[in-house]
Amino acid sequence: MPLTPTRDVFITCAVTGAGDTTSRSDKVPVTPAEIAAASIEAAKAGAAIAHIHVRDPETGKGARDPALYREVVERIRDSGVDMVLNLTAGMGGDLVLGSPERPLPPAADGTDMAGAEERLVHIAELKPEICTLDCGTMNFGEGDYIMTNTPAMLKAMAARIQALGVRPEIEIFDTGHLLLAKWLKDQGLIEDPVMVQLCMGIPWGAPDDIPTLMAMVQNLPADWTFSAFSIGRNQSPYAALALAAGGNIRVGLEDNIWLKKGVLASNGDLVAQAVKIAEGMGSRVLSPAEVRQKLKLERRW
């Protein structure tokens, strides 16, 4: 099998996520102003795409209030710094069962189950170039939390995203999720060019070892564009692995808070490190304008 690394690579920065990283690093952005500033920092460091969650400014927990997204987008727009916006649509599928002995009713703390339309309110309002579609259901952590995305929910969300003219980034956490993505494509609910994010190393999904990554990559249709990342200490090695496997790069504080052992990172630090890795491997880092052309994106702001 020949080595075919990506020669023109784009970098996505996932700037904050929804997990409990704020208790472990004061560099994780929380407020809309901080999230916008982190996105701008990442873009200036070389990221073409900013992947954006929002958080409750009071608690720091993940949120899906459209007003928070609107403020982030407006602050980025007003800055004049160019970047491709990728807003998450993953919130609203959080199910926390009651306990192993009494799973029902679900626990009120942590459960947030919303309909397809409600999960996409901010996408309909703000029309980003990209939004995520988490293509499957999966256990998270060691408790009773389940990321819930049924086939029927995915069909409804994919159809709505398509109607809005937004490019979905299909997030794949395990091999069965890839089959769901192909199923949606076969039904005409995902349009070309298809964009996939391989999310590796997240318990209890696909492990981030090289054979599993290559098994996922080799099962992707040849004309699909993919990125890949791993969490924690393997984020930087995965920048090199993803590129070597023919894909693109994702880094950011959503997935990893460390620059190196004992040194907390900023989003700009992680992007700058990824740029060095890409350029050191002989690849050219694409600009936002080049990514729009590659992925046939429509900028509306």
Going by pLDDT thresholds of 50, 70 and 90, the confidence category of residue 2 is: confident
Confidence at residue 114, expressed as pLDDT on a 0 to 100 scale: 97
pLDDT tens track for 124-162:
999 999 999 999 999 998 899 999 999 999 999 999 999
Q: What's the pTM value of the predicted model, to 2 decimals?
A: 0.96
What's the whole-number average pLDDT of the chain?
96
Q: How many CB atoms lie within 10 A of CB 219?
A: 12
Confidence at residue 1, expressed as pLDDT on a 0 to 100 scale: 63
pLDDT tens track for 211-248:
999 999 999 999 999 999 999 999 999 999 999 999 99
Residue 125 CB partners (closer than 8 Å, separation 6+): 66, 69, 70
Confidence at residue 184, expressed as pLDDT on a 0 to 100 scale: 98
Listing DSSP states for 25-76 in one string gives -TTS--SHHHHHHHHHHHHHHT-SEEEE-EE-TTT--EE--HHHHHHHHHHH
Percent of the chain at pLDDT > 90 equals 96
In the three-class reduction of DSSP (H, G, I as helix; E, B as strand; rest coil), residue 279 is classed as helix
pLDDT tens track for 258-283:
999 999 999 999 999 999 999 999 99
Is the pLDDT at 301 greater than 80, yes or no? no
In the three-class reduction of DSSP (H, G, I as helix; E, B as strand; rest coil), residue 89 is classed as coil
Write down how long the chain is: 301
In the three-class reduction of DSSP (H, G, I as helix; E, B as strand; rest coil), residue 112 is classed as strand
Is the pLDDT at 165 greater than 80, yes or no? yes
Q: Are 112 and 94 in contact (CB under 8 A)?
A: yes
Q: Are 13 and 51 in contact (CB under 8 A)?
A: yes
